[in-house]
Chains A and B, each alone.
Chain A
Amino acid sequence: MKIALGPLLHYWPRDAVYAFYDEIANSAADVVYLGDVVCSRRRELRLEQWLEIAQRLERAGKEIVLSTLALIESEADLRGLRKVVGNLRFRVEANEWGAVRLLQGQTPFVAGPHLNIYNPATLSLLAKLGACRWVAPVEITREALSGLQEAQLQAVETEIFAYGSVPLAFSARCFTARHYNVPKDTCGFPCLDHPGGLALATREDQPLLILNGTQTLSAATYNLLGEAATLREMGVNVLRVSPQPQGTAEVLRAFRRWADGELSSAQAADGAAAQAGVCCNGFWHGRAGMEFVSGAR
């Protein structure tokens, strides 16, 4: 079982990004996804700088994948996409079907979590087009995933989102800019002041969501590590940990210790949960995503 670090979803100052990936170079991750999936306006790191980080991590033994934007609206967005796809060195994760069109038949690619792969027909279409790995949608249930795994597409690795605030939705609207009452096009990047996004709670102060610019994340932390043994039995090849504002390396270590047999999945899940506030895993069990079903194995 490989452990992957998903793309950094938040917007951090450049130095914080460099420091984070310096730590990741020595972390337990096997695969590292790099680049911005959320907002095309973010400019702290340009592609060239992401590629430098990629090379550094590659030298540290990590498999590198460059992730593309999930929402592509403008010609400028498409130019950025073409640059990422055209990099000759690193594998690319396609996060919408425009990227699939540019990658198909050219080079093996990762079919990302935002392509909506819910059934074997869609998966086998992507396999024919060159997908070497696919990432399940975040709301995938155990039942739906077994249906896909039983289709036995051996050449394609399966990856599942296994830890972190769940990327629930994308919008053209920036909710951080809305909160600060500034126009999106001249926002001044107030998100840089909120490394974990803006917490959204109900009027009863119950945490519900996290506003992360144009993306909406779950307030609770998805933690599927307790199900890791089941995932292995189902033939899942890669577990994705999403970068968190704190404790990401510790979470990766808990995953690694489970994968190496040092900890049971329950022990490892507790270790990872220590880095989170409230955990959830409802999606996996076909329930409301915010719920946590304990001891389900």
Chain B
Amino acid sequence: MCPAGALPALRVAVDNGADCVYLGFRDDTNARNFTGLNFDDAAAREGLRYAHARGARVLLAINTYPQSGNWKRWTRAVDKAAEMGFDAIIIADAGLMEYAARVHPELALHLSVQGSATNYEAINFYHDHFKVRRAVLPRVLALAQVEQVVRNTPVEIEVFGFGGLCIMVEGRCALSGYVTGCSPNMAGACSPAASVRWLQTPQGMESRLNGMLVDRFADGERAGYPTLCKGRYRVRGETYYAIEEPASLNALELLPKLMAMGVRAVKIEGRQRSPAYVAQVTRVWRDAIDACRRHPRAFTPRSEWMQALDRVSEGQSHTLGAYHRAWK
């Protein structure tokens, strides 16, 4: 399941072996509501045509939380998804899901990671009421917990395999809203670029979010994007990455285990990333999945795959995140 921030990314995802691509419309109905990103109607139709002609499926993320004042923009996105022929829609809000299930019963529903469903009781709730076909798990569960979910639900399970790592439960984080006024749930953006300031100072390069100092970098240190949870802060006199280091999730080595436990899809994060990133990551994961299918017991991640992925990782390092219990 590969990300497409725009048509060029969609094309290279399909060309490099994605089974599915996911994208958003060009507004706050999706959680990557960034300037210059996403699809207008014409681009969405072209993306659908390109992918379908090559046997790939296209999903639409409508994964932010509508309010009564803007509710119609979200239902219109759902209506358009049905009309344009998307293969499924990825929804977070329960009320919007009720609308989609009622008005477009033929349209497949996926529960977004932003829906924060971390256990099978929650996932089965969406199955009972809206017949969701698939749920995307938040990046908080250990491997054994993922397996427990898979075993106890008729809903297909999709997990994150690679890309930027939310430390907080998705859909449950108002950190960005607290500092910038823009939150993923309400505005579809975390730590938005409009709130970011870079400043070269005698102490080093500073990154600020709405005036708040997120990090300061020494000469030669790689300066990462100031996502609020990935800054260096002071706690009891100690300055460190108090919440999380800027590293990417990379679960490639877990592929055989994920397949064996019945996980149905692996999601690659990064609709805000370049077509080059999408091409590189899609190619590696395609090769790895094919290799793992052929010889699951002999599967080991090839060093050239890991190097290729590390080159495009945030902070150029990677972690198994919550899949590895010790991370918590």
* A residues lining the B interface (CB < 8 Å): 70-75, 77-78, 81, 96-102, 104, 114, 116, 118-126, 137-139, 141, 143-144, 147-148, 150-151, 166, 168-175, 177-179, 183-185, 198-206, 208-209, 211, 216, 218, 282-283, 286-290
Contact = CB atoms under 8 A, between A and B. Distances in A.
Contacts of A78: 119, 121
B95 interface: yes
- Grouping DSSP codes into helix (H, G, I), strand (E, B) and loop, the B interface class, with mixed when no group exceeds half, is mixed
7 contacts: A116-B185, A118-B67, A168-B173, A168-B174, A185-B328, A218-B178, A288-B177
A177 B116 CA distance: 23
Contacts of A166: 174, 178
Contacts of B116: 96-97, 114, 116
- Grouping DSSP codes into helix (H, G, I), strand (E, B) and loop, the A interface class, with mixed when no group exceeds half, is mixed
Q: 4 smallest A-B Cβ distances: which pairs?
A: A121-B95, A147-B68, A98-B121, A122-B95
Nearest to B214: A202
Contact of A171 (B95, B169, B181): B169
A237 B117 CA distance: 29
Given A147-B69, A168-B173, A97 B126 contact: yes
B242 interface: yes
A280 B262 CA distance: 46
B308 interface: no
Given A287-B181, A288-B210, 5 more contacts: A73-B142, A97-B94, A168-B178, A203-B239, A211-B235
Contacts of A77: 119
Contacts of B178: 139, 166, 168, 218, 282-283, 288-290
Contacts of B67: 118-119, 143-144, 147
Interface string B166-189: 011101111101111101011000
A283 B187 CA distance: 13
A288 B180 contact: yes
Interface string B122-143: 1011101100000000001110
Contacts of B92: 116
A204 B213 contact: yes
Contacts of B314: none
B185 A137 contact: yes
B234 interface: yes
A120 B244 CA distance: 36
Given A98-B119, A100-B125, A125-B98, A203 B145 contact: no
Interface string B184-222: 011000000000000000000000001011111000000
B65 A216 contact: no
A171 B122 CA distance: 17
A102 B148 CA distance: 18
A125 B100 CA distance: 13
Contact of A201 (B93, B186, B233): B233
Nearest to B185: A116
B289 interface: no
A123 B65 CA distance: 13
Among the interface residues B71, B118, B212, which one has the most CB atoms of the partner chain A within 10 A? B118
A150 B145 CA distance: 41
Contacts of B177: 139, 168, 283, 288-289
Contacts of B66: 118-119
Contact of B322 (A72, A173, A288): A173
B96 interface: yes
A183 B95 contact: no
Contacts of A121: 71, 93-96, 98-99
Among the interface residues B71, B92, B125, which one has the most CB atoms of the partner chain A within 10 A? B125
Contacts of A74: 145, 148
B170 to A, nearest CB: 10
B174 A139 contact: yes
B181 A179 contact: no
A286 B169 CA distance: 23
B283 interface: no
A200 to B, nearest CB: 5
Among the interface residues B95, B115, B167, which one has the most CB atoms of the partner chain A within 10 A? B95
B141 A172 contact: yes
Contacts of B173: 168-170
B326 interface: yes
Contact of A216 (B94, B142, B175, B213): B175
A118 B125 contact: no
Contacts of B126: 97
Contact of A122 (B94, B185, B214): B94
Nearest to A176: B235
Contacts of A168: 173-175, 177-178
